[in-house]
Homo-oligomer: A and B are copies of this chain.
């Protein structure tokens, strides 16, 4: 272990973070490895424990480590789920009766599961405008939490005009073979064009809790609008992904 350079301008907590970061990136400290305790590090570096904690906070905010109360400090890293935008929503995929999310998880050997809640409510002005209905008109809301090996990895909330989806399997937890898009196709409103708008931010405490995020984990927010062949919007889907669990793939032509 390199001792602190007291003459350096670089603050002690940064020097400590630098050294630990280097060891993690170089693989000296590999995934899952337990770091020395805060008190040990404090003694090793001859700094106050608060200073060591500052260094730990830096690395946690970079997503490199996670701390577990009463257990210790550990090096993080997890496999990502590969989400390929086009293939997952293809008509063929539906024929094979794979929901898009389940298809995503299979290629990395995760066991997928989904918890669904469904209700109807008056549409917000944003949603109403997109779905071409009047504000306050009822929409069917499908709210899902997606799990990989029982860990939550994605939240998704879809909105459909109730005028369209009411009385169909879209209002059921099990939306039937091929999922909701197959049901829209049954209604002659098969979605054929999709527009996804992505942003990435740090999560609010609410999202952190729902997705059980470690600190230092951003979220990716995707707003997807699905259009039918008449270019009318049939679904609005607002998704929130744990960024450390996903890799997104888009393909397009010039």
Contacts and interface: CB of A to CB of B under 8 A. Distances in A.
A195 B243 contact: no
Interface stretch (A28-36, A57-65, A123-131, A136-144): A57-65
A84 to B, nearest CB: 9
Copy count, this protein chain: 2
Nearest to A18: B205
Contacts of A203: 62
A91 interface: yes
Interface string A183-203: 000000011111111111111
Interface string A231-254: 000000000000110111111111
A249 B202 contact: no
B215 A201 contact: no
Nearest to A252: B86
Max chain B C-beta neighbours (<10 A), residue from A57, A62, A80: A62
B252 A194 contact: yes
A204 interface: yes
A197 B61 contact: no
Interface of A (DSSP majority class): mixed
A218 B202 contact: yes
A135 interface: no
A179 interface: no
Contact of A195 (B215, B218, B251, B254): B251
Interface of A: 21, 50, 57, 61-63, 80, 85-86, 89-91, 190-205, 215-218, 220, 243-244, 246-254
Give the 10 A-B residue pairs with the shortest CB-CB distance, closest first. A218-B218, A200-B243, A200-B200, A198-B248, A250-B250, A86-B252, A63-B202, A196-B250, A195-B251, A62-B202
